[in-house]
Structure 1
Amino acid sequence: MIRLTLLLLCLALPARAQEVVRAFGPENALTRLVLRTTTDVDILAPTVEEFLAAHPGLAIVYEQWGSNALYQRSSEECATGESGADIVISSAVHQMIRLVNDRCAASWQSSFSTGLPDTLRWRDEIWGVTREPAVMVYNRSLVPPDQVPRTRFDLLDLLRPEDSRYAGRIATYEISQSGLGYLFAYMDSQEATTFGALMEAFARSGAVATCCSAEIIDGVQRGDYLIAYNILGSYAVTEALHDPTLGIVAPRDYTLVLSRALIFPGRRVRPEAGAFLDFLLSPAGQLSLAANNLAISADNPAINTEADAPDSARRLIPLAPALLVAMDRAKSERFLSDWRKTFAQ
């Protein structure tokens, strides 16, 4: 099961606080960077340690945040002109695009950063450093093989009968609490002809919207939920490596692919912070991220062939100004209002 401590942190900590703080590197380091991120510390820690092994005398203070709280703190510090972080990495990339648009990020150029395609960088102030699909997860012990949904249409079919055994046992992110969940739902609304039908089916069947990846995956493992929708694949694969009852499906109709976004808050980039980005984008850094499921390949042993969506079905979420629409106050309030009505029960 996912570590109980992370679950309790997700549920209990105030939205304004860091969820985890951990120090990496020597205590007497001459240079210290502050990294704020939504990434689970245990998943990114090996990559941080590999970077520091090549940079003696450097230390990193790792602060793990919820996406909404991280965005709010970053925005407030931008307004004052003083940042408490050297590096910010978030899965809620629409929020990061907003920070860049609001001139809250510094520019950096290197052979690694400028080598990214336009879909993964903007204005040399934001870069995509991972590749993570949004997946469905299910309990192999409780969902028969012939009922495993391989597309959204399959999921709708499971929820269609009035006496469906899946009623009340489908879970997804509560998008008012999760910036990542909001992003996935928003992208669904732009991409899928099935979005309206899914919202109607979720409402009619009593689907559950709840806190975070740890809670949702743990609920599937316990059998509280039979299927979870739009879950970040990196966390699901990490847990599936230790629990064979956890099945993973990358939908064949289309699979959203997230690239966590990195920015340098403030007006200048410390050279050591720039070196960290360059490492993440380098072949060695990408191998390290892949080893920790932050870059998931089709031949990952934790994923069955059922999860292998064709390349034509993969939809990378681009780091582009178009994501600013997701941050428009009127549109987001209307979107959240419709979502709350869906999950009112």
Structure 2
Amino acid sequence: MAVLLLLALRVRTRVSVEALALTVLVTYVIQGLLGAGGYSPTGVLAVTLFTVVVVVGTALRGRREARAQLVEQTTLTAEERTRRTLLEERSRIARELHDVVAHHMSVISIQAQVAPHLVENPPDELKENLAGIRENALEALTELRRVLGVLRSEHPGPGEPAGPDGGIAGHAPQPTLDRLDALVENTRAAGREVITEINGERRPLPPGVELSAYRIVQEALSNVLRHAPGARATVRLTYQPDGLEVEVVNGRPTGPAPPSTGAGHGLLGMRERVAMLGGTMTAHPWHWDGFKVTAFLPDVPPADAPGTARSTENTTDPRGGTS
């Protein structure tokens, strides 16, 4: 019985059945054909127990394999969900990059082409400089299209999902910090208390920085609505000489969070944006079951950006303190 149980647990069902059949045959030969005087037959009981052991061992092995397959499938599903989320975020960044940068580069190219015609007898040096500006703008547009092609290498194509502002994500106007008040009011309309603080002298920032800051606040407030029922949130923007610091903090929720149907990868999208701008970001629990998201977006990306920015949990910002 022990040998059959080990076989059933470790080998295929066919091998276990063959071993059981061989055991039954040996039992029949020894007891039924050879026999012995003055013995008590136990073959039927033995064969029954052998069969039960093989069935139980096969069932346990099948359950173990099914559990292993389930774990593997769950892991693959989580990886696929993460990959899909990152691809969707890359496509969204590509759309926004096109709207923010390509438009301005096209305007520069057209203005450089038209400028010589606005001046009577423009000097040759001016024409050459304007021609160089136009040529550089066109080269930048070519490189931008190449980068966008890489970001959209696995673009979902037609039927892409609608953006968070409504409408088709690829054609919706891209928001900036000018629409932050409307975003906060929408959160307040959902029954949450939101406090907005702006520190430092407010100034225009590059479109990519303002767009990323808006998206970070948007995603952080969405997480508060989903995962922190009844919690008060604070949105704090700090204008610094070298960039913008965005901080969203929520307090302790007043009740259990409802089940979430989302992919749960909003923080990944935030980190993608921050890394692209060469900034830093942290997201970690805060006092008394709260949560804090802080991101620093540099006004001028460092020389090694993008792709080398730090984006870790509980990272100490070089300017001092935790960011």
TM bucket by the smaller chain? under 0.3
The TM-score normalised by the length of structure 2 is: 0.22
Higher relative contact order (CA 8 A, sep 6+): 1
The TM-score normalised by the length of structure 1 is: 0.21
Question: Which structure is larger by alpha-carbon Rg, 1 or 2?
Answer: 2
